[in-house]
Chain A
Amino acid sequence: MNNNTTYAPASDVTVTETTKARVLALVFGAAILFTVGFAYSTPVHNAAHDTRHTLAFPCH
């Protein structure tokens, strides 16, 4: 599968682009996980209750 596939050389542009994508993915990922697993709002807690217990996020 790795039969010398030619990848574009990592120029400065692609490095910045990749870094930007990583930061965005980290920020969005953490924000979603915070809402699902940590947020104190009671309706959010009640909606995500079974997920919090099953995935062992700290829950009451």
Chain B
Amino acid sequence: MVFRMFAAALAAGLLSAVLITGLQSFITAPLILEAETFEEVAPAHNHDGHSHGDATAQPSWAPWAPEDGLERQLYTLLANCGAGIGFALLLVVGLSFDLPALSARRGVMWGVAGFSVFTLAPALGLPPGAPGMPTPDEQAAQIWWLLTVLLSGAGLGSMAFGKSFVIKALGAVLMVLPHLWGAPPLNAIDSQLPPELAARFAASSIVLSAVFWVMMGYLSGLFFSKLGERSAPD
């Protein structure tokens, strides 16, 4: 079972990551590069680690960052592979509760659930931001994001699998809770980012996440069930 789950997640995560990196390279990557040209007006933090002391605005000890172009795309591919495998491992855990009726179709349903929990729920309080957008304190944002994902996951699970009305109602409360509490406030910064660029980035990010999740779900379900057919004792 360990091999079956990890092999399915690895294959689903890697394939999805390659495809989503391709889509990102001509949908969101150009928006990020464009947004960074506005970010440099107000140097909040370092995005270009390659000015070796020649630019007065940059510190001479600029930390490593991938070179724009192919190197940056390769690191994005690597990070997407990590995200794909990580999310697919969680999907496969969910799918393992569906074992007798496992299919690619069930995988898509788990993928949509993952999208709701990991993308939609946090986006209500922390909309996807292009570089240079005002953001909350990073640590506070991470804690709120993590709590929102955990509570939304528990809530959605209770609503989907809870036997009694009370459990389902409790699930709904869990999902609403982080939004009643509220996401951490944005730090006021003098952002030069054009609003239409920010809006386009937020929308593109959510749409690409949906594609990514559905793909990971479909492929996780497919590989998990196919590997089962092959290894199940007759």
Tell me the A residues contacting B by CB distance below 8 Å. Answer: 1-2, 6-8, 14, 17-18, 20-22, 24-26, 28-33, 35-38, 42-43, 46-60
B135 touches A59 (CB 8 A): yes
Nearest residue (CB) in B for A38 is B142
- Pick 6 A–B contacts, CB within 8 A, sort by A: A17-B2, A22-B5, A49-B47, A51-B80, A53-B205, A59-B135
Q: Which residues of B contact A7 (CB under 8 A)?
A: 99-100, 232
Give the complex CA separation of A11 and B119 in angstroms: 37
Q: Which residues of A contact B119 (CB under 8 A)?
A: 55-56
Picked from A21, A26, A58, the residue with its CB within 8 Å of the CB of B141 is A58
Q: Which residues of B contact A22 (CB under 8 A)?
A: 5, 93, 96
Total contacting residues, chain B, CB less than 8 A: 64
Of listed B85, B93, B122, B234, residue having the most chain A CB within 10 A: B93
> Mostly helix, strand, loop or mixed at chain A's interface?
helix
A25 touches B65 (CB 8 A): no
Give the complex CA separation of A54 and B64 in angstroms: 21
Of listed B29, B90, B144, residue having the most chain A CB within 10 A: B90
Give the complex CA separation of A2 and B76 in angstroms: 40
Give the complex CA separation of A29 and B9 in angstroms: 9
Cβ of B101 under 8 Å from chain A: yes
B103 touches A1 (CB 8 A): yes
> 7 shortest A-B CB distances, which residue pairs?
A29-B89, A58-B141, A46-B65, A56-B128, A51-B79, A48-B79, A33-B86
Cβ of B111 under 8 Å from chain A: no
* Shortest distance from the beta carbon of A58 to any chain B beta carbon, whole Å: 4
B89 touches A18 (CB 8 A): no
In B85-136, the 8 Å CB interface with A consists of 85-90, 92-93, 96, 99-101, 103, 119, 122-123, 126-131, 135-136
Tell me the B residues contacting A by CB distance below 8 Å. Answer: 1-2, 4-6, 9, 24, 28-29, 32, 44-45, 47, 49, 63-66, 72, 75-76, 78-80, 82-83, 85-90, 92-93, 96, 99-101, 103, 119, 122-123, 126-131, 135-136, 138, 141-142, 144-145, 201, 205-206, 208-209, 212, 232-234
Q: Which residues of B contact A28 (CB under 8 A)?
A: 6, 86, 89
Give the complex CA separation of A49 and B46 in angstroms: 11
Give the complex CA separation of A46 and B126 in angstroms: 21
Nearest residue (CB) in A for B48 is A46
B93 touches A26 (CB 8 A): yes
Known: A56-B123, A56-B128. A51 touches B76 (CB 8 A): yes
Give the complex CA separation of A43 and B187 in angstroms: 24
Q: Which residues of B contact A2 (CB under 8 A)?
A: 101
Give the complex CA separation of A57 and B143 in angstroms: 11
Known: A17-B1, A51-B76. A26 touches B138 (CB 8 A): no
